[in-house]
Amino acid sequence: MASPLPCKWSGVFPAATTQFDESHNVDLAATKAVQAALIRDGVHGMIVLGTVGENNSLNADEKRAVLKAAVETSAGNVPIIAGVSEFTTPTAAAFARDAERIGADGLMVLPAMVYVPTPAELEYHFRTIARATSLPIMLYNNPPAYRVNIDLATLGRLADQPNIVAVKESAPDPRRFTDIYNAFGDRFVLFAGLDDVAFEGFCLGAKGWVSGLTNAFPKESLALYDALKAGDLDKARKIYRWFMPLLHLDAEHDLVQTIKKVRQHLNPRLEIEGLLRTMYDPRNTLAQQVSAQLQQHFGEKVYRTVIPRNIRLAEAPSHGLPVLGFDKASKGAQAYLALAGEMLNRAEAGAVGA
């Protein structure tokens, strides 16, 4: 068994969504905004172009553009791990080389799509990609979704490939964490890959969590991780039990649509933060036209200080868990948000001041 490359990956790594415009083209600006918001919220790393990132819905140029956007957005603050999900081994190896050139910090490699491989074919696929790059690699095991299991014998044969350093384990049976550890010790860094098995995964030795629902609930996900890392199982159980109905969504076949819908509708904090960034952005001429009217409506002091401060304070938890929205925001802040959103929509429709 070869000594692996050093791997310090740990913590919460959201599988970031890819955003599209109304014509179904990749919206890089919106995608970068999602990535930046997750980094600001304190995630420890980010997976782009995974299942939640809709890798196989993108063409080759779009994949590389999304990865480049993530590398630029992170600017070295968190590791960016690129999903490798292709129909053939040569195209996967080509993407791995390009990902290294673009600046990715690592790769999350899936089996080749569509056709179920034999163990020998699966090993060949992973090993060929690993030899095409010097980047550290996380293997992605998800038998329910991809109809192939990375069995222990295959992992054992791949253990001599030094840049295969981690396994994202998305089998629904948490015994896999113990089986892998018993077979290989610390050879592979383990990541929980199903949101509704994250607690069990961490308790059984996982160092990290590749999460879908973190897109919508980053602070809640980080609170769960922090409690587990601190050994506060009572707090971790409280968060996990509260979170579980949402975490189950990550295991459904329509997880991408559902996670995006949850992000949009169940966590208005993200939309509100986006609106605030727009309204207080001096480079946005249209927003500034609306801002001038809002400032006149609310008064300069309220507009510049009180409203933004109250909106930020509305995030403070009163029960040890992050709040889900802004129901506790002041009436002035709520009025601002409602009026700002309405006026900006009107302005974008060409009806400023109408």
Q: What is the Cα–Cα distance from 335 to 86, expressed in whole angstroms?
A: 48
The active-site residue out of 140, 146, 225, 336 is 140
Whether 63 is catalytic: no
Q: Residue 131 forms beta bridges with which residues? A: none
E runs forming strands in 206-339: 208-211
User: In terms of C-beta density within 10 A (0-12 exposed, 13-18 middle, 19 or more buried), how is residue 201 classed?
Assistant: buried
Whether 146 is catalytic: no
**CA-CA-CA-CA dihedral for 81, 87, 93, 98, to nearest 10:** -60
- Beta carbons within 8 Å of 190's beta carbon, 6+ residues apart: 166, 167, 169, 177, 180, 181, 201, 205, 206, 207, 208
The active-site residue out of 63, 168, 207, 260 is 168
Q: Are the CB atoms for 214 and 12 separated by under 8 Å?
A: yes
Alpha-helical regions (H) of 51-171: 60-74, 89-102, 119-131, 143-146, 152-158
Which residue numbers are catalytic? 140, 168
